Homo-oligomer: A and B are copies of this chain.
């Protein structure tokens, strides 16, 4: 009998590793907005040449996470208040559709996972983990949806405002409100009420946007 072919190694290419690491560093705020990305420095950090670094940077640019200028290099992209607002509007348009399509397809296991993530988020007292836990809850909710392009867009939109989301969570009662709203969305999913879940998701995002804009320079 023949053995099943299984990719033991599954080693990603160097450019992908660099891409993932830089993306993570940017959305987590370890690299500040406007900070230049020096190819040579990054290459040394990852023990590679500049070739994979350049490929990673060009992909990051395509995702809007960095901006590059010819012969001047790449810097971490930032968002104006208007741009931030637009991204939240985009999320408020797209993500309710993802939830609506996901609700009728959620399995017991997926609901259990979502409930677990919801609880973990509400229980966490370490601000450093809030961003990840928030995202894990939303991903658990969206996982049952088969709208993969919608999810791509939501993922990228969240990437771009991840820093603002984290700021919003630590703000005033941001964490408490998010926890409450998550629970409401989860309950709607458990009841199988796709319309309600979609509406609450939209309100959740719009609420986050409002509370964020209220604390922004221009408003």
Binding site for B on A (CB under 8 A): 13, 15, 51, 54-55, 58-59, 61-64, 70, 82-83, 86-87, 89-90, 93-94, 97, 146-150, 152-153, 157
Contact = CB atoms under 8 A, between A and B. Distances in A.
A82 B64 CA distance: 27
A interface, by DSSP: helix, strand, loop or mixed? helix
Nearest to A51: B51
Contact of A93 (B59, B89, B94): B94
Given A86-B148, A89-B147, 10 more contacts: A58-B58, A59-B59, A59-B62, A62-B62, A62-B63, A82-B146, A86-B149, A90-B150, A93-B94, A93-B97
Q: What copy number does this chain have within its complex? A: 2
B83 A149 contact: yes
A66 B35 CA distance: 31
Contacts of A93: 93-94, 97
A83 B149 CA distance: 8
Contacts of A149: 83, 86-87, 90, 157
A149 B82 CA distance: 11
